[in-house]
Amino acid sequence: MSIKFIHTADLHLGSSLHTENDDILKFAKDENPVIKSFHNLVDTAINEKVDFVLIAGDLFDSDERSVRAVKEFNKGAKKLYDHNIDIYMIAGNHDPINGNNFFKIFENVNIFSSKKAEVKEYKVDKELKARIIGQSYRSNSDSRKMYENYNLADNSVYNIALLHTQLDRQNNNYVPGNLNDLLKINNIDYWALGHIHQNKILHKEKPLTVYPGIPQGRDFGEPNMKGFYLVEFKSKKDYKIEFIANSDYIWKEVNFTISKKENVKSFSEIISYLKENAIKLLFNNVITKREKNIIKKSMLTYIIRWKIKVEGLSNDEFNEDIKELEIILAEELRSKFNNNNFIRENIALWTEDINLEFDSIIPSKEKLIKNDNIFKEILSVKKCISNNKDLQNELKNTLGDIWQGSDDKENIDEFRFSFDNEIDDIIEEAEKKILVDLWKKRGE
């Protein structure tokens, strides 16, 4: 006895791309990419003839649920209903339910209560094929360890558990617990998780434990190709799981260096170099093999943040502020690669923004110390901060509200820093900037 299903989560219907780029917004206006990704999923479910679709929370971006979002979901649910495909879904922290305030239109839509864990049975011709257990959020945060009540005594059919969780015992906002806690629950064959916007298979043996990620990324905090999982169990021990790429818009950062050997000596030459090499840089640096296969069949739009270091040129060689140069360069790229001028047949390139970095040529640290004791003091302070956690925490507090923190891993705020992951780089960059500025004033 086999079952086949799609596992998705965090569709966030009612939201769209997070950008101020008018060109991108105009291009995406007629067909919201987030809604389109949902309908792509529905079409895949029908084409693959799945038994049901699992939605592990945050179907909607808000518990207010926009009229269009509800309308589009009902349209997709109706198509699945017409093909005898059921939907099993829990509400997450973005679209919680309090009591029975969650709508239900078609009888194929099965919504789990927020009051307690529920078991719903999937039957074919009155024969039980699977049990699905789940529980919805009752507010925008939920500190209950829901999984502790996911008790299924019978293991005669496939048992699937829906859970919207951060998998962090220290966080009480999003169902505290960790992977080991889930693995201890008896008789579960598949944990269908939601809340984290990156796809990942956490446990490949029984119970198979999976985050599908968000089906369509909306900003640089949700980069790369997104999608959902197509899962087929032929027996308890024989399964197949496949990631289905689903996003038409892909957010990417392209980091590269224009080396001295390229002999780029002016800003106009930087513009020419990037225009001529954008295709190659994109394909060599960021486009994956999976994406290249998709490009052969359909169009993908890449939204790019360029991070460019130029060797052999210094900031001092330009009269304009570096931010002005970045704006000009971004406009040049948008002009060349607009929605009517694709890089090649099935690719559109959009430049969201550009970060330029030029060489700042200064002597070695040893020579700086010999030149002036102030450099020695600066290097000493940097070393002290790097090796002292208390000083780092003091620095964290002094800099204020610029950190993401570790309390919410649902998605990444692209405008904030991760303290634990980036503090060393930040200290290093601060040291470099101070040394360069001071050398210009005192050393030369």
**Cβ atoms of 263 and 292 closer than 8 Å:** no
* 15/8 Cα distance (integer angstroms): 17
Q: Residue 385's pLDDT is what?
A: 80
Domain boundaries, the chain: 3-245, 249-358, 365-443
**Cβ atoms of 201 and 183 closer than 8 Å:** no
What is the dihedral angle through the alpha carbons of 258, 261, 262, 263, rounded to the nearest 10 degrees? 110
Q: Residue 284's pLDDT is what?
A: 80
Q: Residue 167's pLDDT is what?
A: 94
Give just the sign of the alpha carbon dihedral 170, 174, 175, 178: negative
* 444/409 Cα distance (integer angstroms): 47
Q: Which mean pLDDT values do the consecutive 10-residue runs of the chain (444 residues) have? A: 95 91 71 93 98 97 86 95 97 83 77 95 94 96 95 92 94 94 96 97 96 96 95 93 94 90 89 88 82 83 91 74 89 77 70 85 74 78 79 72 60 61 75 74 59
**Cβ atoms of 228 and 200 closer than 8 Å:** no
Is domain 3-245 in CATH 3.60.21.10, yes or no? yes
Q: Residue 440's pLDDT is what?
A: 66
Q: Residue 240's pLDDT is what?
A: 96
Residue 357: which of 399, 402, 299, 309 has the closest Cα?
309
- HSE-CB of 61 using CA atoms within 13 angstroms: 16
User: What is the SS3 assignment for the chain?
Assistant: CCEEEEEECCCCECECCCCCCHHHHHHHHCCCHHHHHHHHHHHHHHHCCCCEEEEECCCECCCCCCHHHHHHHHHHHHHHHHCCCEEEEECCCCCCCCCCCCCCCCCCEEECCCCCCEEEEEEECCEEEEEEEECCCCCCCECCCHHHHCCCCCCCCEEEEEEECCCCCCCCCECCCCHHHHHCCCCCCEEEEECCCCCEEEECCCCEEEECCCCCCCCCCCCCCCEEEEEEECCCCCEEEEEEECCCEEEEEEEEEECHHHCCCCHHHHHHHHHHHHHHHHHHHCCCHHHHHHHCCCCEEEEEEEEEEECCCCHHHCCCCHHHHHHHHHHHHHHHCCCCCCCECCEEEEEEEEEEEECCCCCCHHHHHHHCHHHHHHHHHHHHHHCCHHHHHHHHHHHCCCECCCCCCCCCCCCCECHHHHHHHHHHHHHHHHHHHHHHHHHC
Q: Residue 291's pLDDT is what?
A: 86
What is the dihedral angle through the alpha carbons of 442, 321, 251, 432, rounded to the nearest 10 degrees? 0
Q: pTM surpassing 0.75?
A: yes
* 83/126 Cα distance (integer angstroms): 18
**Cβ atoms of 60 and 52 closer than 8 Å:** no
Q: Residue 279's pLDDT is what?
A: 80
